[in-house]
Amino acid sequence: MSPEELNLNEVTRLDTPFLPEDVHGLHIGQRVVLNGIIYTARDAAHKRLVELINAEEPLPFDMEGQVIYYVGPTPAKPGRVIGAAGPTSSYRMDAYAPLLMKNGLKGMIGKGTRSREVREAMRLYQAVYFAAIGGAGALMARSIISAEVIAYPELGPEAISRLEVKDMPLIVANDIYGKDLYESGQKSYAV
C-alpha cells in the first residue's frame, strides 16, 4: 500500500481476543488502538511455551485469539501500574512464533522486521504483526491499566504478564495477505 493510499487520520479500534474478522480487516500501514487483555513474552518465555506445546502440556493462558507483546517492562515506580514498556526486537521470537500462531495466536506486537517464515505463517494461520513505538517505553506504558505476572516469575522482566490495555497505539506492519510495511515502505522511496 502506498503512502497515498493510506488515510493517516483514520484509526481502527480493536478489542482482544481477536475474532477471525478482526484480522481480515487489517492491512499494512493501518493505525490501530488496541483495548483489552494482551500478554507479554520475550524469547525465554517463548522457548518455554514451545516446550509446553511440544510436550502437549497446558499453557499458562489460552492462546486462541490472543495477542503477545514482546516487552520486558522496567519495574513500576510507586503509584504506577508498570514501568517503561517499550517493544523489544521481534526477530528474537521468530523461531517460536509460527508454532504459537498454529496454536491460536492472532497478534504480535514488537519492533523491527520479521523473517520470511514468520510472514508466511501469518498468512497461513491468519495472524498479524503490529509495530509499536520503539524508544518510547513511557508513552507505551500509559496505555497499560493493569499488569499481573501469570507465569515464570523467575524470569524477572521477561516473565509472562497479563496486561489490560486501553487505546494502545500501534501500526499494522504485516497482515494476513502477505504484505510487509517495512518492505513496501522501502520500495516507495527507492529511486
Q: Count of residues for the chain?
A: 191
User: Is 177 in contact with 27 (CB distance < 8 Å)?
Assistant: yes
37, three cell numbers: 487483555
According to DSSP, the residues that pair with 151 across neighbouring strands are 160
Active-site residue, 46 included: yes
Give the separation between CA 175 and CA 173, rounded to whole angstroms.
7
- Which member of 30, 39, 40, 46 is catalytic? 46
Report the relative pairing of strands 67-69 and 31-40 from DSSP bridges: parallel
- Residues marked active site are found at 46
